[in-house]
Structure 1
């Protein structure tokens, strides 16, 4: 059995990326707006991340929150974002694009794959809402996608692990399956019993922005319910503990 476990850490900023590498990540996924599920990061944040990291950086290309059906303007914008991300050092591109009926948009996906070229191609959790995961898996393999991020079409790995095992078996090593939903209570089970070897880890805490203390009642978004006095940052202590635990498990 291959004991090597690859740890990918989800990041929403340059600060997160630095924390993730320090905690023990093998690679990171760079986003912005984690509270929206992760959208395309700025080129500036990519440049600074690459300047400060020695591990691979996967760049999220997602133009907005709420689903994965995009119009032609959004698709063209994504193409330009992909080109820029590659130009400024992305080691891989993370994306997903669907039709309104929940099937993969093959035409748009092929356009993205052609632009990405020899960089890593990762289909994100849009996979978790496709109608037919096996048929979709065939499509992604056929079009040259290298990796899929999934929780087995569920919100937790405990509910989705059977589907993940099924697609791993079906794919026969033709595509890498990156498993989300990693938590302290299930990581040993995932590694020892399920033999999952590619883990996507995330944890964030709130960090105060002291500039807001002079007038904390002012808000800049659309809701008074969301505090403007703090923002999410990667949780170093949690991530370090998880990376250490994973390394110890793979060595046993």
Structure 2
């Protein structure tokens, strides 16, 4: 059966993903900024309330994947704390300014992870040569790559997605993500032969405390009264589609 990984931004998201039948959780914060490191409180609660693997994002800021010395120190500490707090794996991806993989820094985070799983995230989708990048990720010894096949939506580049999966072979798991929804899931599976998919299953919710308020607490691109929460039924619907493969 094809594995379903749900991208979550909180403990509440993760519990709903678990109830909906997700096989694995990617735990983040700040999804609006591409996903950043979650709080340890969220991680500990998810581990206490679910029994599926929890992969923890290690990303100190938005705006790219080439980090300063201080930012990398933060990433190392975040990785150590996540492992100590029960993470089943770490999700990260460090590039040089020229978008090539930073072998040394990624290898250090892999070593911190120890026997936990490691995933190279969608920083992969801006590398100059995806096949050369796969070779380097194999060299580091990571377990998986999350990719949209170098497109905003994986459905826009299914041929490359298929080639990436074939090139990775048995040494590296490829998880397809990026714009995957119920309406295009079958085509993506059938055109790529993928065995794992990654998606969000959010619904918008309203925090009534902010209705009719004129004060602003967020940037202009983020709603003052709406937030997103993983929808159990959406997860179940995707899981039902996957059960046929």
User: What is the CA distance between 1:188 and its match in structure 2?
Assistant: 1.4
Q: TM-score with structure 2 length normalisation?
A: 0.95
Matches within 5 A, 1:153-192: 153-181=150-178, 182-192=180-190
- How many residue pairs match? The answer is 244
Q: Is the 8 A contact 2:29 2:35 kept in 1?
A: yes
Match in the other structure for 1:90: 87
1:39 aligns with 2:36: yes
User: What is the CA distance between 1:157 and its match in structure 2?
Assistant: 1.8
1:64 is matched with which residue: 50, 55, 61?
A: 61
Match in the other structure for 1:200: 198
Matches within 5 A, 1:1-252: 4-181=1-178, 182-213=180-211, 216-223=213-220, 226-247=222-243, 249-250=244-245
User: What is the CA distance between 1:25 and its match in structure 2?
Assistant: 0.3
Question: In the aligned structure 2, how far is the partner of 1:156 from the partner of 1:226?
Answer: 22
Cα RMSD (Å) of the superposition? 1.3
Question: In the aligned structure 2, how far is the partner of 1:191 from the partner of 1:85?
Answer: 32
Secondary structure at the aligned position of 2:149 is classed as: coil
Tell which deviates more after alignment, 152-161 or 33-42.
152-161
Q: Is the 8 A contact 1:24 1:244 kept in 2?
A: no
Q: TM-score with structure 1 length normalisation?
A: 0.93
After superposition, the Cα gap between the structure-2 partners of 1:188 and 1:226, relative to the gap in structure 1 and judged at 3 Å, is closer
User: What is the CA distance between 1:35 and its match in structure 2?
Assistant: 0.9
Question: In the aligned structure 2, how far is the partner of 1:193 from the partner of 1:169?
Answer: 12
User: What is the CA distance between 1:236 and its match in structure 2?
Assistant: 2.4
Tell which deviates more after alignment, 192-201 or 75-84.
192-201
Which runs of at least 4 in structure 1 moved beyond 3 Å after TM superposition? Answer: none
Deviation per CA, 1:62-118, whole angstroms, max 9, x where unpaired?
111111010010011000000000000000000011001010011111111111111
Question: In the aligned structure 1, how far is the partner of 2:194 from the partner of 2:17?
Answer: 21
Question: In the aligned structure 2, how far is the partner of 1:180 from the partner of 1:102?
Answer: 20
Unmatched segments (≥5 aa) in structure 2: none
User: What is the CA distance between 1:230 and its match in structure 2?
Assistant: 1.8
Secondary structure at the aligned position of 1:46 is classed as: helix
Q: Is the 8 A contact 1:150 1:177 kept in 2?
A: yes
